[in-house]
Amino acid sequence: MTDGGQSSQLAALEKVLLDETADPVNLPFSLLSSITGNFSEAQEIGRGGYGAVYRGVLPSGRTVAVKQLFERYEILDKNFESEVTCLAGVKHKNTVRFLGYCSETQQVLMPYDGKRVLADVRHRLLCFEYMPRGCLADYLSVFADASCRLQWTTHYQIIKGICEGVHYLHQQRIIHVDLKPQNVLLDDNMVPRIADFGLSRRLSGSQSRAITDHKLGTILHQNFVQGIYGTRIPN
């Protein structure tokens, strides 16, 4: 991409970041690589089962979060498109704002059978607003220092915000089956933002419940409840 092309894409990302009503934009891999220091360890801020999250610093000094999905997971184009569409439609004060996405295939020389061959490497990334106060899990840990201990009023506002965010998602017919303290991020004002819709399920109009082939969602929900209250609620 030319310098002029990257500058225009950076300007588009800055615009989306500043305008909460703006739609997410398609971002080139080269730009996301550039703002994350080529996905350097120094800028990695989190890692999960599906990908790693990096701090992306824009020329203006503003910060975004870039999630790079692991290549080892084969994700069909239609599934990625469905996820992007789902994320783009979620706009609420208690959900992390989706800023942009990338889906590119590059041909890269790689060793194979004693030779170097051209191989297709697929890059899929998601860009979100950056939450400076970390995740809720940091404040619930028994090892948290005094600076991380919250007042009851803050606890109440966080719980209330999570409930409002989940209620909004359900109104959009979206079930977040990976809801846990690590996926509740906090902004500068300690307002909770629900994140990571990698395991979300969108219901059709005729469905009243989500049916999955495993109990992952139930287990994660139990862990979330246990993390907040310290005890597991029996079935």
Enzyme catalytic residues? 178
How long, in residues, is the chain? 235
Is 67 annotated in some ligand binding site? yes
Residues 6+ apart with CB under 8 A from 162: 94, 184, 192, 194
The sign of the dihedral angle between the CA atoms of 144, 149, 154, 155 is positive
In angstroms and rounded to an integer, the radius of gyration of the C-alpha atoms of the chain is: 19
Instruction: Specify the amino acid at residue 193.
Output: R
d(CA 160, CA 193): 11
- On the CB side of 166, how many CA atoms lie within 13 Å of its CA? 15
d(CA 2, CA 54): 24
- Under a CB-based contact definition with an 8 Å cutoff, are residues 125 and 32 in contact? yes
Mark the binding-site residues for ATP, compressed into ranges. Answer: 67
